[in-house]
Amino acid sequence: MQPTRDPRATLPDLLEVLLNKGVYLDLDLIITIADIPLIGINLRATIAGIETMLEYGMMRSWDEQTRAWVRRSVSRHLPLADGEEIVARMAGGHRQEVPYETWRPGTVYLTTHRLVVHRREPAETLWQAPLAGITAVDLHAERAIGGEDRARLLVIAPDGEALLSAAEPQRLLELLRQLGVGAAGPRPGLPGRPAPALEGQMWFLERRAGGPLWRGGTATLDPVAGLTWKGALDARPAVRLRPGAVTSVAVERARVPAGEAVIVVGSPAGEVRLAAGDPEPWVRELRRLAAASEREGTA
C-alpha cells in the first residue's frame, strides 16, 4: 500500500477504506507548546473493519470466546453454520436471469463452506452455492454499459451457471483456487457455453412517439442465448430474442446509418429492424436460428 494524499477525500471515503481495506499507520508525532517539545508519540497500528481483520488473519491470537463473539456479530446479517468462517468479503452482485435480466447488488462472501451473494437491507441471500458443489470457476469478460470490458466471475454450480460481479474478481478467483474450488472440473467457456457467433456494432430502429429513430449500439448473436442488442447507455438490452423466438429473416433495401440494407427479424412479439455495416454474416446466422426454430416447431 502506497501513501496517498487526496484533498477531495471525505469522511465517507475514509470510512469505506477503513471498513473494506484498512489502513496502516506509521506515525512519529511530537506535541509542542510554545515551540517546546513536550510529548513524543511513536505509533505503529493497523485499523480496519472487523471482517477485514479476520479475512487477513490479523486476529488469530484472539481467544476462542472473543472469536465466537465476532462470528455471532457477523452472523446477524449473514447466517453462518457451525465452524463456518468468512475468508473474504467484497462489494459485488449477482446477475438475475428470470423473470427478467438484471444485476442485483450486494456483498460477495467467500466462507470456508460456500460462496454467497448477500444483501443486508432488506436482508436477502441473492445467490449461494456450496464450495464442494462448484465444478468450475473462471473470469468472464463482459461489455459494460460504457463500452469497456469488465471481468465477471463465472461459476458453474449444481443449479447451473451464475455470473457474479466483484470489486476484486481476480483476487476472489485466486482465493477460490487456493481452496481447491473448481480446480479439477471443466473450465468455463467450454461445452455448454459456446462463444458468441457474432458480436459487433449494429443499429436498431426504435419506435418512439415522435417517430422511429435509429440508435447505435452493440449486438450479440449467441446460439444458446439468441440475439440481443443494447445501446451504450441502456441498463438492459432493448432487444432480446431467444433462439426459438426468431421465426423469419428478411433483407429490405433502404438508406440507413450503416449502409443500404435493413435486416428484418420476425418473432412472435413482432418485427425487429436492424442494420449493420456488413449484414451478410448476421443474416446468415439469424437464418440458421430461424431454420432451427422451424425444425423444432415441426418436430
What pLDDT sits at residue 186? 42
pTM over 0.75: no
User: Under a CB-based contact definition with an 8 Å cutoff, are residues 117 and 126 in contact?
Assistant: yes
Domains and CATH numbers, the chain: 11-69 (no CATH), 83-179 (2.30.29.30), 198-297 (2.30.29.30)
What pLDDT sits at residue 217? 86
- 278's enclosing H/E stretch is none
Give every residue of the chain whose pLDDT is below 50, as ranges.
1, 184-193
Positive or negative CA dihedral for 16, 17, 23, 27? negative
Q: Which residue do the cell numbers 465517507 mark?
A: 12
Nearest of 237, 228, 227, 229 to residue 292 by alpha carbon = 227
Kindly provide the residue ranges of all beta strands, DSSP E only, lying in the chain, ordered along the sequence: 23-33, 36-47, 86-96, 102-111, 114-119, 124-130, 136-143, 149-157, 160-166, 198-206, 213-222, 226-231, 239-241, 248-256, 259-266, 272-275
